[in-house]
Structure 1
Amino acid sequence: MDDRRPVATHLVHQNGRILAVGDAEDCPQDAVIDRRFENSVLIPGFVEGHCHFMEGRAWSYIYLGFFDRQGPDGRIHPGLKTKVAVLNALRQGAAETRGDVIGAWGFDPIYLPDSRLTRVDLDHVSDTRPIIVTHASGHIITVNSVVLSRIGITDTSDVDGVFRQSDGSATGELTGPELINRAQRVVGESAFSQALGLSDIQAFSRIARRAGVTTAADLFSDMSDATVAAYRAAAQDRTIPLRMVPALGALLYPGDKALERLNEVKSFSDEKLYFGAVKLILDGSIQGFTARLRWPGYYNGAPNGLWYVAPAQLEEIVERLHGAGVQLHIHTNGDEATELAVTILGRVLSRLPRPDHRHTLQHCQLPDTALFRRIAALGLCCNLFSNHIFYWGDQHVEKTLGLPRAKRMNAARTALDHGIALALHSDAPVTPLAPLFTAWCAVERLTAGGRVLGVEEAIGVHDALRAVTLGAAYTLHLDHLVGSLEIGKFADMAVLDADPFEEPAVDLRTIAVRGTLFSGQYFPADAA
Structure 2
Amino acid sequence: MKKTIMMAFMVSALWTCKNQEAPKESTENKAVATVYYNGDIITMDGDTAQYAEAVVVSEGKITFVGNANEAMKVAGPGHKMKDLDGKTMLPGFIDPHSHFINALSMSNQANCSPAPVGKGNDVPGILAALKDFQKEKAVPEGKLITGYGYDDSVMPEGRTLNRDDLDDAFPNNPVLIIHVSLHGGVLNSKAMELFGISAETETPAGGIIVRKPGTNEPYGLIMETAFMPIMEQLPTPTDAELMQQIKDGQMIYAEEGVTTAHEGLTNAQQVAILKKAADANALFIDVISYPFITEMDTLISTYGLDAFGKYDNGLKLGGIKITIDGSPQGRTALFTTPYLTGGPGGEKNWKGESTFSQDEVNNMLKRIYDNGLQSTFHANGDGAIDMCLKAHEFASNGDLTKDRRTTIIHSQFVRDDQLDKYVDYNLIPSLYTEHTFFFGDTHVKNRGLEQASRISPMKTAMEKGLKPTNHTDFNVVPINQLFVIWSAVNRITRNGEVLGAEERVSPYQALQAITTNAAYQYFEEDTKGRLKAGYVADFVILDKNPLKVDAMAIKDIVVQETIKGGNSIFLKE
CA contact (8 A) 2:358 2:391 kept: no
* Residue in 1 that maps onto 2:499: 453
TM-score by length of 2: 0.84
Q: Which residue of structure 2 aligns with residue 142 of structure 1? A: 186
- Determine whether 1:60 maps to 2:108: yes
Deviation of the 1:147 alpha carbon: 2.5
Report the equivalent of 1:74: none
- Give SS of 1:516's match: strand
Confirm or deny that 1:245 pairs with 2:292: no
Offset of 1:262 from its aligned partner? 5.3
Q: Counterparts of 1:340 and 1:462 in 2: how far apart (Å)? A: 33
> Is 1:273 aligned to residue 315 of structure 2?
yes
2:145 aligned partner = 102
Letter matched to residue 423 of structure 2: A
Of 507, 511, 514 in structure 1, the residue corresponding to residue 560 of structure 2 is 514
Gaps of 5+ in 1: 70-77, 191-195
Structure 2 residue corresponding to 1:204, chosen from 209, 224, 249: 249
Q: State the alpha-carbon separation in 1 of the partners of residues 192 and 287 from structure 2.
A: 36
Give distance in 2, aligned partners of 1:322 and 1:56: 31
Cα gap change, 1:355 to 1:397, in 2 (>3 Å)? same
1:209-236 per-position Cα deviation (integer Å, ceiling 9, x unaligned): 22111111111122426413344146x2
Shift of 1:265: 7.6
**What does residue 19 of structure 2 align with?**
none
Partner of 1:285: 327
Among candidates 272, 296, 318, match of residue 365 of structure 2: 318
Once the two structures are superposed, the pairs formed by residues 375-386 of structure 1 within 5 Å of their partners are 375-386=422-433
Contact 2:119 2:125 in 1 (8 A): no
Structure 2 CA distance for partners of 1:368 and 1:276, relative to 1, 3 Å: closer
Deviations 1:157-180 (A, max 9, x none): 432421013202321211113x32
Q: 1:47 aligns with which of 94, 100, 107?
A: 94
CA contact (8 A) 1:197 1:230 kept: no
Aligned residues: 506
How far the C-alpha of 1:91 sits from its partner, in A, is 2.6
Deviation by residue 1:172-196 (Cα, 9 ceiling, x = unmatched): 211113x323224445369xxxxx9
> After superposition, where does 1:342-381 map in structure 2 within 5 Å?
342-352=389-399, 355-381=402-428
| 1:130 partnered with 2:174 | yes
| Worse-matched range after superposition: 374-383 or 518-527 | 518-527
Cα drift, residue 258 of structure 1: 4.8
Amino acid of the residue matched to residue 183 of structure 2? H
Q: CA deviation at 1:319?
A: 0.5
Secondary structure (helix, strand or coil) at the match of 2:149 reads strand
Range with bigger deviation, 501-510 or 343-352 = 343-352
Q: CA RMSD in A?
A: 2.2
C-alpha contact (below 8 Å) 2:453/2:500 kept by paired residues: yes
Conservation of the 8 A alpha-carbon contact between 1:103 and 1:132? yes
Distance of aligned partners of 1:105 and 1:189 in 2 relative to their CA distance in 1, 3 Å threshold: farther
Are 1:219 and 2:260 counterparts?
Answer: no
| TM-score, L = length of structure 1 | 0.90
Q: Which structure 2 residue ranges, 5 or more long, are not aligned? A: 1-43, 344-349
Worse-superposed segment, 116-125 or 406-415? 116-125
Paired-residue identity, %: 25
| Equivalence for 1:419 | 465
Report the Cα offset of residue 401 of structure 1: 1.0
Larger radius of gyration: 2
Task: Answer yes or no: is 1:8 the counterpart of 2:49.
Answer: no
Shift of 1:149: 2.7
Q: Deviations over 1:218-258 (max 9, x none)?
A: 11122426413344146x23xx541111111224x26x335
Checking the alignment, whether the CA contact within 8 Å between 2:274 and 2:315 is kept in structure 1 is: no
Contact 2:119-2:126 at 8 Å conserved across structures: no
